[in-house]
């Protein structure tokens, strides 16, 4: 009872309202640019954003072309790097850290204005090599997939929950 009286109950309300302007019904996600020169990294991140919008976009239609869309999510994968962070007893790298830097801009095409802009999205993930060469499985690709999903979750969450539009 004290929580309700003091206003703390408001903190626990689920977010059900889309914070995008109500006129935005269709979002275009054209293929991200790949400035990192890493094979197919842009398609993994683009696909992850599209899938996340479909699953959590609260009724938004998603398309690949800019034409006919109310808003556009533009992305650039700026850099991709990895390096060993943990060595085994023989001095070989066992755990690697992958770092991906991206730029993301969300534009309202009907009013020709930027709704969201972050030119320095940085994501890090780790992958590990097995000790036994017979059980070797390269974890780099799954690590990049996990980072792409986390990236997409962050973008879509920002779009649907955090953008404050002045009316």
In the Cβ-directed half-sphere of 139, how many Cα atoms lie within 13 Å?
19
Assess if residue 1 is contained within a domain: no
The confidence score (pLDDT) of residue 7 equals 45
Assess if residue 2 is contained within a domain: no
The confidence score (pLDDT) of residue 65 equals 93
The confidence score (pLDDT) of residue 71 equals 93
Q: Which domain holds residue 148?
A: 19-162
In the Cβ-directed half-sphere of 6, how many Cα atoms lie within 13 Å?
5
Assess if residue 145 is contained within a domain: yes
Assess if residue 98 is contained within a domain: yes
The confidence score (pLDDT) of residue 91 equals 72
Is pTM beyond 0.85 here? no
The confidence score (pLDDT) of residue 88 equals 75
Assess if residue 10 is contained within a domain: no
Name beta bridge partners: 107.
72, 114
pLDDT tens across the length of the chain (167 residues): 544 444 444 444 444 445 677 888 999 999 999 998 888 889 999 999 999 999 987 788 999 999 999 999 999 999 988 777 777 777 777 777 888 899 999 999 989 999 889 999 888 877 776 555 555 455 667 778 888 898 899 888 887 775 544 44
The confidence score (pLDDT) of residue 68 equals 92
Q: How many domains does one find in the chain?
A: 1
The confidence score (pLDDT) of residue 162 equals 54
Assess if residue 78 is contained within a domain: yes
Assess if residue 62 is contained within a domain: yes
The rounded distance, in Å, linking the Cα atoms of 19 and 28 is 17
The confidence score (pLDDT) of residue 132 equals 56
Contact by Cβ (8 Å): 102, 151? yes
The rounded distance, in Å, linking the Cα atoms of 36 and 101 is 9
The CATH number covering residue 112 comes to: 3.30.160.150
Assess if residue 150 is contained within a domain: yes
The confidence score (pLDDT) of residue 140 equals 64
C-alpha to C-alpha distances, 106 to 36, 112, 130, 151, nearest whole angstrom: 21, 11, 40, 14
Query: Exposed, middle or buried by CB within 10 Å (0-12, 13-18, 19+), for 100?
Result: buried
């Amino acid at each position: 009872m004290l929580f309700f009286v003091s206003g703390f109950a408001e903190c626990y309300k689920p977010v059900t309202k889309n914070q995008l302007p109500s006129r935005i019904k269709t979002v275009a996600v054209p293929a991200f640019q790949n400035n990192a020169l890493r094979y197919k990294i842009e398609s993994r991140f683009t696909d992850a954003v599209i899938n996340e919008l479909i699953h959590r976009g609260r009724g938004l239609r998603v398309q690949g072309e800019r034409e006919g869309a109310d808003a556009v999510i533009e992305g650039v994968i700026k850099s991709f790097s990895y390096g060993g962070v943990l060595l085994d007893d023989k001095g070989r790298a066992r755990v690697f850290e992958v770092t991906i830097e991206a730029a993301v801009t969300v534009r309202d095409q009907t009013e020709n204005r930027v709704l969201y802009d972050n030119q320095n999205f940085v994501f890090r993930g780790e992958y590990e090599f097995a000790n036994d060469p017979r059980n070797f499985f390269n974890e780099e690709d799954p690590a990049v997939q996990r980072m792409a999903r986390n990236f997409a979750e962050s973008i879509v969450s920002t779009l649907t929950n955090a953008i404050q539009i002045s009316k």
